[in-house]
Structure 1
């Protein structure tokens, strides 16, 4: 550069922070040459990048020599570290042991039982035993072919040390010793646990004064397991809760929970096996009990009418959806207001494949104002194992529905087909807003949506809003749809290729 610009006049400290928000390797998984894009602009920027510890805080591990250079240049700056035991050099993992004390985010992924796993975990065990005073986000993901989670205590007796600054904890495929006195999570705000046993809900889990977001997959208790005492989970600031479990585990969890009404509650229902019809009837009765007595009565809006405000049905979800991006810069939590009464309450219940029509009958459909449907795979019944769709079962009972969200991932949408061809003028009489996502609107689904909007307009029941996201469509289709909606159609982009 041969002339002075506003950017060039900025102090070096400000430029360093700007680089941190725009460097292209924030997700830690791209080629190392991406590091060169910023320092290649000019000599001043190159010198600034090489000298700034902040520029070297997102750790890539291509080889031990390069990693040692990066760690040296990062000095005492807070690190963001991603470790994959199947692809990263074992010497790189070993080199991290001396730098965990100034690591801010640590993400470890491994495959239990693989050839490299045992050696890698010798180093990881040493890492987890060291003090972590700066650790704000900790992700430990172990994947294996076995359904049983790996015991973290098997790492040569390693248990997590005190983590005074920890805000986010994400554990998958591992079991922690929650009763260890050294484990302290006083500042924890987000918790994601898979394969949690009800007997584990003790110790550090019982008192988390700052916990706001929880997503857990709870296993059914075995005979003889000690259930957590009633009202023993004291989470006074809980705002968002997502559960994946059976009604039996859900009932035990609600008995143990002592928390305010979460503004966002999602329950992914773990379905029973298909072998025993008597078990299915017992399951349905338990499902109804949990929905009515353990969930609906907890809300100010629903405790009298026992109605749900929202319902989500999915044919493909097999695990809880709460997931944090690899980009650690997004983990700064927003300021939460104490005026929880101003937050709209949302309850979602997700039925996992195979679709069970009787489960729908166990839920109070009257009063549902928001419905989300995923149509990626055919829905199947328990009884005849034939492909069936829930549209004829659901739609006639959704008299109070205001918002309909469709994720079809298909050329044709059985829901839109039923809505477009059904002759009942009272079908969805209060529907105001349709949201279509990941759909091919160039052919079948688009034509069915247009037919439905035309039919509503002819009967003076115009749709108020239509939102289209990540769909394959044309500008002509948007113009046609816009004709039959009161407000302008909202869409993100025009694409003529099928979204992945």
Structure 2
């Protein structure tokens, strides 16, 4: 049985064929009778190590689905097969770290079973009828590994009110709310995002959510997306809603040496001429790993940023409406990359 022991590596590289093969090997080595065992006897005789591997595979392919009433339990149905299977699943907290809305007390139950392990929630859509779930998620931000949520900002305010706190295990943060109207204040996070520093953060995607950029430091970041609604008066919005100036953004980018993907849409408050700090702090910023740039900015802003970034040859640059760029020098800046 030594070769059947479960390890983290085995869990990550698990394949259905491997499970079947190893299960067959186990029964070949066992002194099983030649008479075909019943399904109940077969299930009762499978060792916990193999059961766990089967459960891991099921959790990857039969994902629970949520809706507004009661969700599809997916792989969790195995906990209802028999007491032995249930006990094996409940004794493995790592099986319960991918959160999903199941209706009723489903979220609370899954959180309890996951214990203190890092949590993942993907493509979660916030709504008022999930208010209690939002409270639970907000209280677990320090425990999150992946936090990917969307929806109108009013139901999401419970999360926004806590995202200024440290989250030392967070690797991915995606916040997406619909564009706000011209006479409507967009959502904001009070204070610096994640206390201003998060060494574990690898992916940050923010759509129409404002936060304080002062002293921001995410040195391990690989991808950064900042998307806001186009406005004729970004400078006015910056005072109340924390759109960064170009110098502030460049200062933050200088502390992201591992960045590979950069997406900036209408997320800079400056209008030419730029602030004095930007002019005085003109040292180039080396970004050797940056391979994809996606900008929707004023041509002068775009050109000014490109003049400051040192990227490797072959980087892909996505800039819409280049034919509208003026003056010609801005276009030359783009094509010199």
Q: TM-score higher than 0.5 here? A: yes
Contact 2:226 2:267 in 1 (8 A): no
- Which one of the candidate residues 158, 164, 170 is aligned to 2:199? 164
- 1:54 matched to 2:87? The reply is no
Give yes or no for the alignment of 1:297 onto 2:336: yes
Residues 1:74 and 2:114 aligned together: yes
Question: SS of 2:294's equivalent?
Answer: strand
Question: Are the structure 2 counterparts of residues 205 and 88 from structure 1 closer, same or farther at C-alpha, using a change threshold of 3 Å?
Answer: farther
Structure 1 position 109, deviation (Å): 1.9
Counting only pairs closer than 5 Å after superposition, residues 351-390 of structure 1 correspond to structure 2 as none
| Match of residue 179 from structure 1 | 214
The Cα shift of 1:102 comes to: 2.0
- Corresponding residue number in structure 1 for 2:288: 236
Q: What's the counterpart of residue 250 of structure 1? A: 302
Alignment partners' CA distance in 2, 1:149 and 1:232: 35
Going from structure 1 to structure 2, the CA distance change for 1:105 and 1:284 (only over 3 Å counts) comes to: closer
Partners of 1:29 and 1:269 in 2: CA distance:
40
1:193 aligns with 2:234: no
1:33 to 46, 68, 72: 72
Question: Distance between the aligned counterparts of 1:2 and 1:36, measured in 2?
Answer: 19
1:152 aligns with 2:192: no
Q: Deviations over 1:21-52 (max 9, x none)?
A: 22323x86696224356517943544433432
Higher relative CO (Cα under 8 Å, sequence separation at least 6) belongs to 2
- Aligned-pair CA distance for 1:295: 3.2
User: Structure 2 regions of 5+ residues with no counterpart?
Assistant: 1-38, 229-242
2:170 maps to 135
Q: Does 1:14 align with 2:53?
A: yes
Q: Distance in 2 between matches of 1:63 and 1:158?
A: 33
Task: Check conservation: 2:71, 2:101, Cα contact below 8 A.
Answer: no
Q: How far is 1:198 from its partner?
A: 4.7
Unmatched tracts of structure 1, length 5 or more: 272-282, 299-500
CA contact (8 A) 1:164 1:187 kept: yes
Show the counterpart of 2:263.
215
**Distance 1:165-1:20 versus aligned 2 partners, 3 A rule:** farther
User: For 1:212 and 1:285, how far apart are their aligned partners in 2?
Assistant: 28
Is the 1:179–1:202 contact (alpha carbons within 8 Å) kept by the matching residues of 2? Answer: no
**Whole-Å Cα distance in 2 between the matches of residues 159 and 285 of structure 1?**
35
Name the counterpart of 1:345.
Answer: none
Match of 2:147 in 1: 106
Equivalent-residue separation in structure 2 for 1:233 and 1:41 (angstroms): 57
Matches within 5 A, 1:384-423: none
Cα contact 2:222–2:259 (8 A) shared by 1: yes
Aligned equivalents of 2:110, 2:314: Cα separation in 1: 43
Q: Is the 8 A contact 1:247 1:269 kept in 2?
A: no
1:170-227, CA deviations, whole angstroms, 9 ceiling, x for partnerless residues? 01102332223xx321111111111365534144222211111112214573356528
Query: CA deviation digits over 1:70-108, x for unaligned, max 9?
Result: 110011222112543325522221122332222111123
Native 8 Å contact 1:142 1:150 kept in 2: no
* Matches of 1:98 and 1:64, distance apart in 2: 18
2:254 to 191, 206, 210: 206
Secondary structure of the residue that 2:95 maps to in structure 1? helix
After superposition, give the CA deviation of every residue in 1:369-406 in whole Å (9 maximum; x if it has no partner): xxxxxxxxxxxxxxxxxxxxxxxxxxxxxxxxxxxxxx
